[in-house]
């Protein structure tokens, strides 16, 4: 089952604020919770008591809390990788290993008596998962997740991200990545300019980030890395995640006809498999509307990448077909420019695969 999640940082907030946030997230269908216990400073007993209260509350309302830790914390807490009772008593669903332990300890942890999930790092460690898998772990309890990156310009490149995803998919492991709120200010460290996995996502809306992951199917779960996302963001992410199809937003030109609007906004679009360098083609509308007249309308001479197009009566057998321009091109008058993708949807355009299915919504 694929899930969405949020993050909380109890050492930087308070129980009342975290509880309110968790309740809202739960009401929108969020299941996963990420939290960090990478270091404990000050009164350890007080820190752990507050942390445990929040984790246990999240668990009590049916959310799955993954606690981020590293080898140093194991030493500080006096915890052994072959005895995870501390995290079980904490109320955690599982443990995320911020740093690798070498392979064999990870294997041992996957066989813990409590059924705790062990989540390992997917980002930047090329052969790490191969080392873990070489020790024959219990894959029912083994997950993967990418890192998030608080400093601008340090997030993963598309190439590195794809490599990590492919490595874990080859072992059929459940995976996750992080998206970022545009208003959240809390993270595990002082510096915080958003907490995405992919650098390209740092300034995108949560809805656009979700649509990227739905279009690409790159990972199973996505988690908001920073806290607290706004109510509007939680709702938008939930709607994007649970909608029947991923959606690209389009600004429909004011002069577009009602028929043109219907073709664009009220039909499922499917990218043809015989791909062109110039246009994404969605052809079913030319069959559905073959008996309609589509007069030339805003058939401008210059078409730009991102324009949403419908062929008019002049183009005969292509009449009614919907296109999205992938490159700038000339128009001989047979194509109506009925709208234009938003900047965020222009980014998504490159990731729609052949035979990919999606909807267009009015911005």
130/136 Cα distance (integer angstroms): 10
pTM for the full model?
A: 0.95
Going from the N-terminus, what domains does the chain have, and what CATH number goes with each?
Answer: 4-243 (3.20.20.70), 248-362 (2.40.100.10)
What the block records as the tokens of 86 is 């501390």
Nearest alpha carbon to residue 227 among 275, 165, 178: 178
Give pLDDT tens digits along the chain (363 positions).
999 999 999 988 999 999 999 999 999 999 999 999 866 666 667 778 888 999 999 999 999 999 998 878 788 778 888 899 999 999 999 999 988 888 999 999 999 999 999 999 999 777 899 999 999 999 999 999 999 999 999 999 999 999 999 999 999 999 999 999 999 999 988 888 999 999 999 999 999 999 999 999 999 999 999 999 999 999 999 999 999 999 999 999 999 999 999 999 999 999 999 999 999 999 999 999 999 999 999 999 999 999 999 999 999 999 999 999 999 999 999 999 999 999 999 999 999 999 999 999 999
Residue 312 DSSP SS3: coil
Q: Give the span between the Cα atoms of 363 and 361, in whole angstroms.
A: 6
For position 192, what pLDDT does the model report? 86
CA trace torsion 148, 232, 3, 272 (10° rounding)? -90
Give the residue among 80, 73, 5 at the shortest CA–CA distance from 35. Answer: 5
Smallest Cα–Cα separation from 323: which of 361, 284, 292, 295? 284
User: Using CA atoms, how far apart are residues 144 and 103, in angstroms rounded to an integer?
Assistant: 14
Instruction: For residue 339, give both structure tokens.
Output: 């709208």
The pLDDT score that the predictor gives to residue 341 is 98
What's the pLDDT at 38? Answer: 65
């Amino acid at each position: 089952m694929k899930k969405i999640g949020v993050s909380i940082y109890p050492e930087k907030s308070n129980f009342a604020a975290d509880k309110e946030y968790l309740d809202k997230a739960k009401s929108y269908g969020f299941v996963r919770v990420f939290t960090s216990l990478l270091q404990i400073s000050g009164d350890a007993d007080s820190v752990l008591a507050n942390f445990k209260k929040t984790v246990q509350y999240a668990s009590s309302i049916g959310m799955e809390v993954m606690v981020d830790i590293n080898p140093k914390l194991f030493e500080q807490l006096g915890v052994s990788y072959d005895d995870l009772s501390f995290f079980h008593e904490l109320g955690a669903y599982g443990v995320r290993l911020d740093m690798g332990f070498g392979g064999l300890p990870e294997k041992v942890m996957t066989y813990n008596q409590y059924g705790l999930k062990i989540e390992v790092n997917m980002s930047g460690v090329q052969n790490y998962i191969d080392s873990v898998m070489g020790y024959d772990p219990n894959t029912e309890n083994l997950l993967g997740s990418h890192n998030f990156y608080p400093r601008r310009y340090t997030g993963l490149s598309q190439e590195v991200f794809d490599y990590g995803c492919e490595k874990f998919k080859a072992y059929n492991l459940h995976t996750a990545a992080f998206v970022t709120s545009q208003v959240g200010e809390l993270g595990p460290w002082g510096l915080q300019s958003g907490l995405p996995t992919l650098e390209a996502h740092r300034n995108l809306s949560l809805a656009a980030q979700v649509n990227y992951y739905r279009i690409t199917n790159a990972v199973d779960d996505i988690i908001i890395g920073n806290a607290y996302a706004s109510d509007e963001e939680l709702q938008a992410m939930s709607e994007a995640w649970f909608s029947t199809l991923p959606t690209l937003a389009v600004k429909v030109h004011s002069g577009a006809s009602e028929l043109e609007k219907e073709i664009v906004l009220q039909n499922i679009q499917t990218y043809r498999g015989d791909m062109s360098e110039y246009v994404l083609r969605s052809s079913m509308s030319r069959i559905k509307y073959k008996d309609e007249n589509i007069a030339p309308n805003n058939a401008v001479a210059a078409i730009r990448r991102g324009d949403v197009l419908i062929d008019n009566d002049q183009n005969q057998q292509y009449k009614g077909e919907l296109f999205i321009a992938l490159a700038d091109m000339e128009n001989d008058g047979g194509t109506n420019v009925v709208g234009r993708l938003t900047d965020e949807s222009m980014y998504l355009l490159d990731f729609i695969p052949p035979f990919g299915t999606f909807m267009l919504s009015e911005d």
